Chain A
Amino acid sequence: MKRSRIPFFTTLAVLVFFYLPLVILSVNSFNDSRYGGPWNGFTVRWYVRLFQDRQIWHALQNTLIIASTATLVSMVVGTMAAFALNRYRTRLQMVHYGMIYSPLIVPDILMGMSLLLFFVALNVKLGLVTIFLAHVTFCISYVAMVVLSRLQDFDFSLMEAAQDLGAGHWTAFRRVMLPLIMPGIAAGGLLAFTLSLDDFVITFFVSGPGSTTLPIHIYSMMKHGAPAVINALSVILLLVTFVLVSASRTMREKIQ
């Protein structure tokens, strides 16, 4: 029997649809033409200009500060939330779960708007702090969900076994539980980090003067017409994201 060719061509079409824009973008970042279009010869000029742009570096710095602090805080709080959701069974837990889960489904624009109104109502000056708080709110949900799924697979008789073998409560947690759920916490943290890194909509609402993050800066560069530099920046971001995501994949596979 001859095998159908349809699956092959469908797959090919989907892959082209997904990756052609990225390929064009990457190629154009080396194109010696200000607005893309026809190939004018190879250049790394846009990369050079990118590295000389002080504003971009400032925006990147802001982004990294926010992403790392928001990730750290949400890893701690998210893990605690996951523990609370997993260990205590009351009717209120349904509400708790809903509250943790809802930031994952509420549209970003709603989140951004409500956070903005909230900060304005409290008279908080918009800036890095408000962006940080906003990012923590949605990162907690992601971390909590990843850690929760890890906890649901966790066999709590392991904790009893550790205590039975002479470990106190804290030692049992440190020597048995933590090593076993750490990959979950780390995976949640990486997820939070990548989400925080490229968040635009929510950040756009709650950022203030002088607190521009990279995605917002890219948006304004787009408006002021520097597409070639943006291409170069995008390629670098693509690489960084790729490395982060594959690191989190490897970590998750290691535990299975």
Chain B
Amino acid sequence: MSDFLVFEGVSKHYGDIRAVDSVSFSVNKGEIFSLLGPSGCGKTTLLRCCAGFEDPDAGRIILDGRDITGLPPHERKVNTVFQNYALFPHLTIRENIAFGPRMARWTKGEIDKEVSRMLELIQMEDYAGRKVTEISGGQKQRVAIARALINRPQVLLLDEPLAALDLKLRQRMLVDLDAIHDEVGITFVYVTHDQGEAMGISDRIAAMNRGRIEQIGSPAEIYEAPRSSFVAAFIGDTNFFDGTVTGVLDGSYCRLKIEGFPDVLAWNDKGLQTGNAVHLSLRPEKFKISREKPDEASSLNVVQGTVEDVIYLGSHTKYWVRVDDYRLGVNQQHRHYLLDTRPIIWGETVWLSWFADDSCMLERYKAEDENLLVLPDMEEESVPE
């Protein structure tokens, strides 16, 4: 069922700051929907509006056909998993999980049965009598999820639920979360600044920036066909080009003039005409790097450049290649790697090639978004807010 949870023109201001600026979108029943963006983009504010901790200045929030805007938190069939868990330290694990049902005045038998079922779901039956201070971070996270899920909410809100965990645990919890979602089938709205988490768990992602949604789509759509320079640069890494259309070829392709490059072929899904200016995004792994000039193929772009930096990263190598004014990031996967072959090193002249279909034309471009691009030594790092 689509339009299960609908945001209609929701805005929230703090003083002069527009935390959320007239945002509209809808979440389907049963899906995992992520709000992804840098800190301060308004994703948490949206979540808090949905939970009832903040009142939007304008707009409506509709859950399952019912307008819930303005309802206090305890009257919404929505539960939250907080970033710092927010477990009650004066209660045991069992009492924490039983808190919601007790508020809802379930019978004692029903509470006991459901709490035990939840403890089983999160595999923590043996810890039921412990205090919150006596369990680990990952366990706290699972208790927080159980405490929310036991109330059978229509939507589960997760506010950076894994931010406080280390990388390995984060990856494991992501798998666990996915399994729990499959088990309970409740709609999840997941807030994160970590693109890896969002990609891994979401059915759909809304990429947010400065209080607005830049793009909504499946992880693959967001990654492979970003609409704006923000989405292209924030999610994953990319290279930006600016050029001009010099010719339109049989409908779906066009020829571009990019400063310092020979003619470039690009997939023209935006229906551009000759003379139009265009900004192009090309992911680093779309390049192929080689010493020999690759064989000509009809939709293959080829350019020559000089290697400026080489960073060996195990699963792949990152090259920085200079082509005229462009310093291009190139990732080469090590599908086949022999220690006795001579690797490409700094200062070598190389050929770069890529398929015309792999570049993506941007609808919106801002030069400042280039600051979001991954620096070579910061890869794989994500800084919690």
B79 CB–A CB distance under 8 Å:
yes
Give the distance to chain A from B208, nearest Cβ to Cβ, in Å: 22
- Closest B residue, CB atoms, query A166: B103
A186 CB–B CB distance under 8 Å:
no
B127 CB–A CB distance under 8 Å:
no
Indicate with 1 or 0, residue by residue over A169-188, a CB within 8 angstroms of chain B CB atoms.
10100011001100000000
From residue 144 to 175 of chain A, which have CB atoms closer than 8 A to chain B?
155, 157-158, 160-169, 171, 175
Interface pair A165/B103, CB less than 8 Å apart: yes
Indicate with 1 or 0, residue by residue over B336-357, a CB within 8 angstroms of chain A CB atoms.
0000000000000000000000
Select A155's contact among B51, B53, B86, B147, beta carbons within 8 Å. B86
Interface pair A166/B90, CB less than 8 Å apart: no
Select A161's contact among B52, B78, B86, B90, beta carbons within 8 Å. B86
- Closest B residue, CB atoms, query A158: B86
Give the distance to chain A from B105, nearest Cβ to Cβ, in Å: 9
B73 CB–A CB distance under 8 Å:
yes
Interface pair A160/B53, CB less than 8 Å apart: yes
Give the distance to chain B from A157, nearest Cβ to Cβ, in Å: 4
Give the distance to chain B from A174, nearest Cβ to Cβ, in Å: 12
Interface pair B74/A166, CB less than 8 Å apart: yes
Interface pair B103/A160, CB less than 8 Å apart: no
Q: How far is the CA of A165 from the CA of B51 in the complex (A)?
A: 11
Interface pair B84/A163, CB less than 8 Å apart: no
Contacts of B73 in A (CB 8 A): 160, 163-164
Indicate with 1 or 0, residue by residue over B45-85, a CB within 8 angstroms of chain A CB atoms.
00000011100000000000000000011100011101010
Interface pair A164/B90, CB less than 8 Å apart: no
User: With A160-B53, A161-B80, A162-B99 in contact, is A167–B74 under 8 Å at CB?
Assistant: yes
Main secondary structure of the interface of A (DSSP, over half): helix
B88 CB–A CB distance under 8 Å:
yes
- Closest A residue, CB atoms, query B103: A166
Interface pair B103/A167, CB less than 8 Å apart: yes
Interface pair B74/A179, CB less than 8 Å apart: no
Interface pair B100/A165, CB less than 8 Å apart: yes
Select A157's contact among B72, B79, B86, beta carbons within 8 Å. B86
Q: How far is the CA of A164 from the CA of B159 in the complex (A)?
A: 13
From residue 153 to 170 of chain B, which have CB atoms closer than 8 A to chain A?
none
B384 CB–A CB distance under 8 Å:
no
B151 CB–A CB distance under 8 Å:
yes
B104 CB–A CB distance under 8 Å:
yes
From residue 77 to 116 of chain B, which have CB atoms closer than 8 A to chain A?
78-80, 82, 84, 86-90, 99-100, 103-104
Interface pair A157/B89, CB less than 8 Å apart: no
Count chain B CB atoms within 10 A of each CB in A160, A163, A164, A179 and give the residue with the most: A164
Give the distance to chain B from A75, nearest Cβ to Cβ, in Å: 20
Contacts of A157 in B (CB 8 A): 82, 84, 86
- Closest A residue, CB atoms, query B90: A179
User: With A157-B82, A171-B103 in contact, is A164–B88 under 8 Å at CB?
Assistant: no
Contacts of A164 in B (CB 8 A): 51-53, 73-74, 78-80, 148
Q: How far is the CA of A209 from the CA of B363 in the complex (A)?
A: 89
Q: How far is the CA of A180 from the CA of B72 in the complex (A)?
A: 23
- Closest A residue, CB atoms, query B74: A166
Interface pair A155/B72, CB less than 8 Å apart: no
Q: How far is the CA of A10 from the CA of B86 in the complex (A)?
A: 47
Contacts of A169 in B (CB 8 A): 72
From residue 25 to 62 of chain B, which have CB atoms closer than 8 A to chain A?
51-53
Interface pair A160/B86, CB less than 8 Å apart: yes
Give the distance to chain B from A89, nearest Cβ to Cβ, in Å: 13
User: With A158-B86, A171-B103 in contact, is A165–B79 under 8 Å at CB?
Assistant: yes
- Closest B residue, CB atoms, query A183: B90
Q: How far is the CA of A103 from the CA of B51 in the complex (A)?
A: 43
Contacts of A160 in B (CB 8 A): 51, 53, 73, 80, 82, 86
Contacts of B90 in A (CB 8 A): 176, 179-180
Contacts of B82 in A (CB 8 A): 157, 160-161
Q: How far is the CA of A157 from the CA of B84 in the complex (A)?
A: 8
Q: How far is the CA of A163 from the CA of B79 in the complex (A)?
A: 10
Which 4 A-B pairs give the minimum distances between C-beta atoms?
Answer: A166-B103, A161-B86, A165-B100, A163-B73
Can you list 16 A-B pairs with a CB-CB distance of less than 8 A? A157-B82, A158-B86, A160-B82, A160-B86, A161-B80, A164-B51, A164-B53, A164-B79, A164-B80, A165-B100, A165-B148, A167-B99, A167-B103, A176-B90, A180-B89, A180-B90
Q: A157-B86, A162-B99, A165-B148 are in contact. List 8 more A-B contacts (CB 8 A).
A: A155-B86, A160-B51, A161-B87, A161-B88, A163-B73, A168-B74, A179-B90, A180-B89
